[in-house]
Amino acid sequence: MRYFTIQPPAELKPYVRFYWVLEHELGADEPSYIYRSIADGCTEMVFHYRSAFDELDNKTGQNAGPSGIQFQTTQYRRFITTESFGIFGAYIYPFAVPCFFNIASSQTSNLAFDFDTFLSRPGRELEERIMLAADNNKRAEVLSAFLIARLRKNGLKDERMAIAIRDVIHNKQYRTVAQLANAYNLSERHFDRKFKEYAGFSPKTYMRLTRLQDALRQYNTDKTLTRIAMECGYYDQSHFIHDVKEFTGYHPGFYFSGKAEGTEYRNT
């Protein structure tokens, strides 16, 4: 399995965390591959340029298609393919959703669509250009041009909320919503409303999602689960177990064992 990232151009870096590529050749002893996407506070645009996946256990009834957009979500999903595959994706901050798609982040949480449904003709054309691109660097160029053109039409309207969301994701000094609201000189109620508008979830829920991602980034370390939970800000082991089970579908002991679906790329 091959996984790597590509950095976006400077104009997009405040909005796009990175582009990513996942490729895998199925062997003779591997009739299928199951990928499990987990809850995440960021939005992803996903293009299957080699083969396609079918969704398992589709409880939402939404049409995400073989390629599409998954907005920030508190849910995990499962997909299967019986062929070798190649996927190109963009990992996007939630506050960039209004800039790229002219819709409030609060209206998109837990939604997923294929590009035709969500973007109509521009979505179809974008997907076709990504599929026909010569390589992944060219795919990054194509998607960057598409996103930059949209960004220039719909600029960010509240830079303070973008900074606050980046703070939650990258800066771990804030452990409570009160601390975060105070840092931006807003009441908790006002901050909660503004934050949800741009992040898609309340600050409390969003901090749970980022705490989970912090914990899962410890996947290949030799730390104990107790230590991971403490370093990532969980109050106790039970809170850690609860969140991992809710957002990934697995007990942390199994997720970190190397046997869980969708964790193979973390070993690359």
Residue indicated by tokens 């969704």: 55
Residue range 205-249, pLDDT digits in tens: 999 999 999 999 888 788 899 999 998 888 888 999 999 999 999
Q: How far apart are CA 136 and CA 116, in angstroms?
A: 22
Residue range 68-101, pLDDT digits in tens: 999 999 999 999 999 999 999 999 999 999 999 9
Question: Is there a contact between 265 and 1 (Cβ–Cβ < 8 Å)?
Answer: yes
pLDDT at 59: 59
Determine phi and psi for 220, rounding to 5 degrees.
-95, 15
| Number of helices (H), then strands (E), in the chain | 10, 9
Res. 9: pLDDT tops 90: yes
- Please report how the helices 136-151 and 115-132 are oriented relative to each other, as an axis angle in degrees rounded to 10: 140
Question: Is there a contact between 95 and 145 (Cβ–Cβ < 8 Å)?
Answer: no
Q: How far apart are CA 65 and CA 166, in angstroms?
A: 30
Q: What six digits make up the tokens of 82?
A: 């019986």
Residue range 176-193, pLDDT digits in tens: 889 999 999 999 999 999
Res. 172: pLDDT tops 60: yes
pLDDT-above-70 percentage for the chain: 96
pLDDT-above-90 percentage for the chain: 75
